[in-house]
């Protein structure tokens, strides 16, 4: 009878830089989707909300570590606020132009 092989699961874990890159990418996309949800007034805004929810569920299935999940949530909030402020500046400049700022 053969003995079961010892599997080292650390071999199959992705490199740390790759995890960080994926966390940043997921957070950026979710932050942008939430920004679009907050700025659009029509019923279409719920498509962005559902897309963000889909990405969040996909991320949580992929990364089960609490540290990765916490970093994802924190970075999503940061990216949401940054993109919302940039979008607000852009909308303000389109409505009032550069002459109104000075």
Query: Which phi and psi angles does 3 have, rounded to 5°?
Result: -85, 150
Cβ proximity of 27 and 79 under 8 Å = yes
The whole domain housing 63 covers: 22-101
Q: Measured on CA atoms in the order 8, 14, 19, 22, is the torsion positive or negative?
A: negative
Does residue 44 sit within a domain?
Answer: yes
- Give the predicted TM-score (pTM) of the model: 0.78
85 inside domain: yes
Domain presence at residue 5 = no
List all residues 6 or more positions away from 101 whose beta carbon is below 8 Å from its beta carbon.
93
Distance in angstroms between the alpha carbons of the first and the last residue of the chain: 84
pLDDT band at 7 (very low <50, low <70, confident <90, very high): low
**Tokens in use for 54?**
């889909």
pLDDT at 36: 94
11 belongs to a structural domain: no
Answer yes or no: is 46 within a domain: yes
Domain count within the chain? 1
Contact call for residues 48 and 4 (beta carbons, < 8 A):
no
Q: What is the pLDDT of residues 72-88, one digit of tens each?
A: 999 999 999 999 999 99
Contacts of 93 (CB under 8 A, 6+ apart): 101
């Amino acid at each position: 009878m053969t003995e079961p092989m010892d599997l080292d699961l650390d071999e199959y874990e992705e490199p740390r830089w790759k995890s960080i890159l994926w966390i940043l990418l997921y957070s950026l996309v979710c932050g942008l989707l939430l920004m679009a949800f907050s700025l659009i007034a029509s019923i279409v805004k719920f498509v962005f909300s559902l897309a963000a929810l889909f990405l969040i569920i996909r991320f949580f299935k992929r990364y089960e570590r609490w540290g990765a999940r916490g970093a994802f949530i924190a970075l999503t909030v940061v990216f949401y606020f940054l993109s919302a402020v940039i979008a607000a500046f852009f909308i303000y400049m389109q409505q009032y132009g550069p002459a109104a700022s000075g």
